[in-house]
Copies of this chain bind each other. A is one copy, B any other.
Amino acid sequence: MVRALNFDEQEQRKKKVLQFLVHEYVRTGKPVASKSIAQSSRLGLSPASIRHVLFELERDEIVMHPHTSAGRVPTDKGYRMYVDSLIDLQRLAVQEETRIRSEYDRRIREIEDVLTHTSRILSSISHYTGFVMTPKFERNILSHLELIPIGERRVLVAMITESGLSKNFVINTQLNLSRERLYSIAKIMIASLKGLTLQEAQLKLVQSIESAEQEYREISSLAKEIGQEIRKFSDSELYMDGASNILSLPDFTNTTELHDLFRIMEEKQLLTNILTDEFSDAPANAEPKKQSKKKEHLPSTRAQATPHVHVRIGAEHPVKELQNLSLITTTYKLSDQTVGVLGILGPKRMEYSKMIALVDYISQMVNQFLEKHDSK
């Protein structure tokens, strides 16, 4: 006769089974049988007992059956449970950390390179798709504005933000303005625009047209042109690398799935939108209220120990094309302000522990790098 199990012990057992099952499935890619759990885990139970536990997990939709005579596979909900409370967070292998660190210390010199390199490193270590998104430029704060005549009726506009990014474009003007005149116009403009985000600046430029006084005709014409151009640059930039890694995954045999996937990678706009959502969910400066309001129907996306890393599993994100994938993201900062999102996109069946560690570590590196090169 065996003493009765209390509720907690039952739950504990379920969790251990799930944990082992996820590990095993991630390792092998094949549905996991009761027998293999009984043998390899240290529960000291027979396959039949394990089957009983599995039955309950299946009833709760935490694992599933591909077909009658197959083992079990975790569902999205199962992965979620694993990530939320069963994962044993690990650090990256020392050699990997060293490798990454040396990339940032030695290879990357310029602030312009950090984005492309980061997505490359992410993809090369994860073997999935790595990406880095810069914030919408329009959220940046303007700090310099220069107008330089180049040739007939053409003016080069150079804008520099506080974070050190620069954007430039050429506009056509109606009048032929001298270098000196342009300089003083720029001075007037920057006086009223400095410290504004680009978005605000754009608004102001457009408004200034309407309230333009006679003497500022010239300025207003220029302002209009510049205001229009800013829109063009308002898109976020998305760097991606390793998209082809997805192709070699055994998880994707279905061709139409693949096609969907690549369409996404080409339509960067779509992924940008998705990431922008992650961005706005960033804990940094968001009031908790708004956040909980928006997300209340979604399960928690926080792993215990690394609160900054978001994990979205399969159908948890609403975009159809991503429902067989998992998205691991985090934000990065510049002088305490969140300025972008980075992460990886891979199959649901991935080593979450390692990938979370990777994304976390890389974001630290990026933060440090930006800190060091901050020009302010």
Give A contacts to B, CB under 8 Å: 110, 112, 143-144, 146, 148, 150-152, 154, 156, 158, 160, 164, 166, 168-170, 232, 241-244, 247-248, 255, 258-259, 262-263, 265-266, 375
Contact = CB atoms under 8 A, between A and B. Distances in A.
A-B pairs, top 9 by smallest CB distance, nearest first, are A244-B262, A168-B168, A247-B259, A144-B150, A244-B263, A146-B148, A150-B160, A244-B266, A248-B259
Given A248-B259, A262-B243, A263-B244, A148 B158 contact: yes
Contact of A166 (B152, B156, B263): B156
Nearest to A259: B247
B266 A154 contact: no
Copies of this chain, complex-wide, total 2
A237 B15 CA distance: 52
Contacts of A166: 150, 156, 168, 170
Nearest to A112: B169
A263 B247 CA distance: 10
Nearest to A167: B168
Given A150-B144, A156-B146, A170-B166, A255 B247 contact: yes
A150 to B, nearest CB: 5
A259 B214 CA distance: 63
Interface centre among A143, A144, A150 (most CB of B within 10 A): A150
29 contacts: A143-B151, A144-B150, A144-B151, A146-B148, A146-B150, A146-B156, A148-B148, A150-B160, A152-B375, A154-B375, A156-B158, A156-B160, A156-B166, A158-B158, A158-B168, A166-B168, A166-B170, A168-B168, A242-B266, A243-B262, A244-B259, A244-B262, A244-B263, A244-B266, A247-B255, A247-B258, A247-B259, A248-B255, A262-B262
